[in-house]
Structure 1
Amino acid sequence: MTTPIKILIAEDQGMLLGALSALLDLEPDLQVVGKASDGKQALSLIESLHPDIVLTDIEMPVMTGLELAQCIQQQSLPCKVIILTTFARSGYLRRAMDCGVKGYLLKDAPSDDLANAIRRVMQGRKMIAPELIVDAWEEADPLNDKERKALKLAADGKQTEQIAAEMHLSPGTVRNYLSSASNKLNASNRIEAARIARQKGWL
């Protein structure tokens, strides 16, 4: 008998987490070995459960799905990451690919599509929702890492001095990053810049 594919699900909506687990467990060759409500909990479970596939949402508290994928990549953990999300934003897809994600699917896809995508990813293929592929390469993210981080902290309500302390930079340098980000996004201020970047999936 073939060993089932071991899956860990990370999803902060409890009802959806339970439904996904139940649906995947109906497949004879798939086995849900763990469930997490945020990325940090998922990372801890990966180290103890050794799943083949991590199926994760993007927007979660404590640690997002993209941050989780980045940690998995940096630590060279052997599991493959599939993102399952409601966010059809091209910027998210580009960042996910940079983090080594092997699949990017939308939550409204049929359950059969998800099960088949898991099998194909295990075979070494990449699975991307077709409606996202064209958009992803039409508009590149203009922000660099420092601009993105400064803008994200500003969007969280932090003042320039707080951002400077967190990024270990001078307030003047932070203001330059925020100004540069605003100019690149044709925004009149940091709040508008953050809103535009978030809509594009760049934050």
Structure 2
Amino acid sequence: MSAPVRVLLVDDETLLRSAIGSLLGLAPELEVVAQAEHGGRAVELAAEHRPDVVVMDLEMPVLDGVEAAERILREAPETAVLLLTRHGRPGVLKRALAAGVRGFMLKSMDAEELVRVILRLHEGRRWIDPEVSAAAMMDDNPLTEREVDVLRLTGEGLSVREMSGRLHLAGGTVRNYLSAALQKTGAESRHRAARIARERGWI
């Protein structure tokens, strides 16, 4: 019998994380080796345990699922990452695939389906929930890649000066990107623009 697939489970909702962990623990093909409460901790535990598959919530504090996936896959590109979300928002799938995520599914899935998808990803294949895929086809994100960058950093609380250093851009250039993003979102401030963009799945 082959060794069980080693899984790292990540979700900031303790009750839900425990429930999913218990369900996965019933599958003889799987072994939950660690659990994390946010994306930052997920990166640490992934480095420590080297799981085969990371099952991770999309929306979390410290680092969201895509940001955590980027860091995990940078160090261990062979790891399969499955993101879970409540909403198939347009824009999110594109970010996830660009980060190297192999699977994307809604939290409304049943336990048997989750196990099947985890095993599929471990075999090197992809799996995208049809609802998420359909939403991505209707993606109407008007923001450029740099506008997404500055709004994401705004959401992290960075100042224009700090964004300039992080992105290696002049302060005036950052302000130009922010101004364009404000126009496209119809927001009165960059913080409001960041919230609108995140709600619509653009960042």
Q: Is the 8 A contact 1:69 1:99 kept in 2?
A: yes
Matches within 5 A, 1:51-130: 51-130=51-130
CA distance in structure 1 between the partners assigned to 2:192 and 2:171 by the alignment = 20
* 1:165–1:194 distance in 2 versus 1, CA, 3 Å: closer
The one-letter amino acid paired with 1:85 is T
The secondary structure found in structure 2 opposite 1:125 is coil
- The TM-score, its normalising length taken from structure 1, stands at 0.88
The superposition leaves residues 99-128 of structure 1 with CA deviations (integer Å, 9 ceiling, x where unpaired) of 111110111111111011111111222111
The secondary structure found in structure 1 opposite 2:28 is coil
| Number of residue equivalences | 199
What 5-or-longer segments of structure 2 have no aligned partner? none
The secondary structure found in structure 1 opposite 2:91 is helix
* 1:153–1:79 distance in 2 versus 1, CA, 3 Å: closer
The one-letter amino acid paired with 2:38 is D
The superposition leaves residues 144-173 of structure 1 with CA deviations (integer Å, 9 ceiling, x where unpaired) of 343223223445676xxx223343355433
CA distance in structure 2 between the partners assigned to 1:83 and 1:76 by the alignment = 17
The secondary structure found in structure 2 opposite 1:90 is coil
For 2:160, the equivalent position in structure 1 comes to 163
CA distance in structure 2 between the partners assigned to 1:98 and 1:115 by the alignment = 24
- The TM-score, its normalising length taken from structure 2, stands at 0.88
The superposition leaves residues 52-105 of structure 1 with CA deviations (integer Å, 9 ceiling, x where unpaired) of 000001111111111111112322442100001113212111100111111101
Runs ≥4 residues deviating over 6 A: none
What 5-or-longer segments of structure 1 have no aligned partner? none
CA distance in structure 2 between the partners assigned to 1:45 and 1:154 by the alignment = 27
The one-letter amino acid paired with 2:37 is S
Q: Following TM superposition, by how much is the alpha carbon of 1:138 offset from its aligned partner in structure 2, in angstroms?
A: 2.0
Identity of aligned residues (%): 38
CA distance in structure 2 between the partners assigned to 1:121 and 1:139 by the alignment = 25
